[in-house]
Structure 1
Amino acid sequence: MFRKNDDRQSDEALMVLLQSGDAGAFDALYHRYSQRLLVYFLRMLGNDRDKADDFLQDLFLKVIDKGGQFRAEARFSTWIFTVAHNMCKNEYRRREVRKVIDPEADVEAVSVLDAGANPGIHEALDRQRFQSRLQQVLLTCDDNQRSAFILRFQEHLSIREISEIMDCSEGTTKSRLFYVTKKLGKALGEFNPQVNGVLHHAGK
């Protein structure tokens, strides 16, 4: 049961409480992170809501089962997104095996932009075209580049945090962001200024 006083607790303090068997701490962490992680899974898994829901459920089961692996001095947000990222990596590997077995397997899209609130019809159509094209381009990117882009653009994580989540150097993260934003800029130039806003934010 979610308790209001848990709002004053840090993520890390709640995780320590969870490790001691405090069910309320789990509810508080779920309340804070479930929507963000659901959106992350949706965008990494091609807007497949059923699969994203399954991944979210599995992730929070891992929080309970593997919570003892969390170190109190670490950032909880980095830890949980690392678990989520690794789940997606395993899914990508499974899909690669499926492609070898079934070359006709569908390619799933990745959605990384939300439409603005109450846009006009022309703006809505333009955003739809932009989003569709962006999905197509991201699908041609390396999985690690796509993941870095989503963590940077959607979650606004720092280079350091992304590097910890993806278990790579900061230089590698910067390189992945450089190449994916360069590719997006070249492919989506016709949509200026929308694309400039995305690339400016992602490349900081």
Structure 2
Amino acid sequence: MTGFSKYGAEVTEVTKPTDDDILLAQVALGDRDAFSKLYLKYQPRLVSYCARLLNDDLAQAADIVDEAMFDVWRSAGRFEGKSKPSTWIYSITRNKLISWLRKTSEVTLGDDESLLAMIDPANSLEDELALTDMKQQLVRLMSQLTTEHREVLRLTYFEDKSVKEVALLLGISENTVKTRMFYARKRLAQLLEKAGIVEFDL
């Protein structure tokens, strides 16, 4: 992305590499530890994604994902950064899944529309990965809150407790719960904005 400085000179906005970008670069150099980190991060979610289209056959889903991750290991050096690493890894897995479906079902090689229709774009793995990453960042930022504020957010957001239930659990009044939630959300919103995360519903 380009723009202009106050002196009229063109400047280029440099995108900071993500943790996954760094890991992929290390994998491209043959770093097995970096690959293990990527594998542990993505494998469970990839298996869950594939299993949905395989009648919950987790064993077959795991085999497909392992093949996909092996391709990630072999081709990490060809990742050009034109998309997010999660998108790239998702695409490799999706292609492996489609290939397997073609070989083992009655779907013909030319019937791409049927295969594409089997994957709901609204619930794509990329969306799930983004949401999971967002939640991980939220948990990390919550660690910067006071114990009292962190506790009410944990109970309301992650355990889906009502204000009344939180009050009973913590032994405080419902008004105190609401006050803590107000200031906890306000502080967390500041932390989210500072971290560049502005599209999270609090």
Q: Which protein has the larger Cα radius of gyration, Structure 1 or Structure 2?
A: 2
TM-score, normalised with respect to structure 2: 0.47
* Structure richer in helix, relative to its length: 1
TM-score, normalised with respect to structure 1: 0.47
